[in-house]
A and B are shown apart, each in its own frame.
Chain A
Amino acid sequence: MSLAAETSTLAPPAPARGWPRKRVAGHVLVGLWLLAGIGLLAFLVNSWDGELFRQYAPAYLYGLGTTMTLVAISIAIGALLSLPIAYGRMSKNRILSAFAYAYVQFFRGTPLLAQTFLIYYGLGTFRPELQAIGLWGFFREAWYCAILAFSLNTAAYQAEILRGAIESVPRGQWEGAASLGLHDLQILRQVILPQALVVALRPYGNEIILMIKGSAIVAIITVPDLMGQTRLAYARTFDFQTYIWAALLYLSTVELLRHGVDWIERRITRHLER
């Protein structure tokens, strides 16, 4: 009798997989989701209206395009604005860091909807003054106001992401690079940022997702994004499937993005896996 055979007889048998209570409950819950999904599908098939689809499908795609454009522009402007703010947050200068702190607290502590209202409706109070300096054309348009509000808002969040990522890189990396004779900007660009951005990738992805979801509120100030087109379609038809289609579009966009970020993260952290 070999040792291997003996140990194999000593190994405990696999636990029997019966139907304990939580397994039953789990299957019931999954069954409920399935039922809800089938019900939704049945509702969509049942209320399918070719005319409605032909009329509103282009509007929905156009709305989705508007949403994506708004988010892309705001994220890009916000990224630029976030650089000085993140610098201010990490600065040893009291005044600079207090100012950056106040900016971040203000935009992260208040609702995006209220900020958008303040810019779009609120600045209308100063119409004569704005007309005098030729800026009224900008603040009259809901689209520009939305971009301004979203850029300022996401700049605050992105500054915090950037600061967190840079501060997550150990001090020794700065010191090591400095001892090699690199100057500050070189250290930041060639040593710190490559490590920080790996950390920042997931928060940045989340921020883009939050922006896509948050951008639905621009429908309230009459920007025809996906939500705006949906509200228009619902107001004209009183057909609830208009909202279901919007939900499916938003959900698939967000899921696509989330899996995209996951994939990128897996690829750029391959060297860290063991």
Chain B
Amino acid sequence: MGSVSTLLSWGAEGWLDDIAFGVLVTVGLAVATLPVGLVAGFFVALAKQSDEPSMRLAGNVYTTIFRGLPELLTLFLVYFGVQIALQNTIRLFHPDATIAVNSFVSGIVALGAVFSSYASEVFLSAFRAVPRGQYEGGLSIGLSNAQTMRLVVLPQLIRIALPGLGNQWMVLLKDTALVSAIGLGDLLRQSYIAARVTQEAFLFYGLAILIYLGLAIVSSFFIRTVERSVGPSTR
């Protein structure tokens, strides 16, 4: 096997292009999951802070399920479960059709469910930190409920929730490694392949870990910049 510099070169000889593609998949998956998880998490939090008991119950069931299941199991449940469900539905119409679920989409759904259940807790505590008077003030100057939420509460909410959401982003970034188990060619999977072929396991897993660490450092820098741009989040 060639030297380290050959192994880590770009092109057919080396593995750097494959690893770079893996990084792209990892980052792409995390970035694609983020909006899904944020929106879902916000609505779950909205349900959990409702004064309507049935709403709260529905939100709490969601959180309990997706916070209690191992992330890997959630991924398998989505990947195999959705596949089987779709297959059975389609077989009703086309008896010999086969269907394969995209592992990238499965990853978004599963990681989005996990992310949103944790994010909903962050949003919920942020909701509780916004004083009631803010809602009343918004209503009293003639804004509708939706306007009060969008123009008065949400800007304060995001500022309070940002540190917690930043933590969840870090968790999400690390959880993307799990999709390598359902065959998606993310950073860890590409490293696994490279390690298998070249027998240089330590080199490639070490490189993968350093890249993950780099992504985490870049993210924390980015999060700090965003936090600074929305103002101090003291209380």
Contact = CB atoms under 8 A, between A and B. Distances in A.
Interface stretch (B94-102, B130-138, B173-181, B221-229): B173-181
A26 B58 contact: yes
Contacts of B72: 216-217, 219, 227
Contacts of A125: 199-203
Given A110-B174, A213-B70, A255-B64, A26 B50 contact: yes
B21 interface: no
A199 interface: no
Contacts of B61: 30, 33
Interface residues of A, number: 47
B16 interface: no
Interface in A97-156: 105-106, 109-115, 117-118, 121-126
A29 interface: yes
Q: Give the interface residue-count category, chain B.
A: 35 or more
Q: Is the interface of B mostly helix, strand, loop or mixed?
A: helix
A246 interface: yes
A178 B206 CA distance: 47
A141 B170 CA distance: 31
A23 B52 CA distance: 6
A214 B52 CA distance: 34
A47 B216 CA distance: 44
A74 to B, nearest CB: 15
Interface of B: 47, 50, 52-58, 61, 64-65, 67-73, 76-77, 80-81, 84, 170, 174-178, 180-181, 188, 191-192, 195, 199-203, 205-206, 208-209, 212-213, 216-217
9 contacts: A26-B47, A114-B177, A122-B202, A122-B206, A125-B201, A217-B178, A217-B181, A254-B68, A258-B68
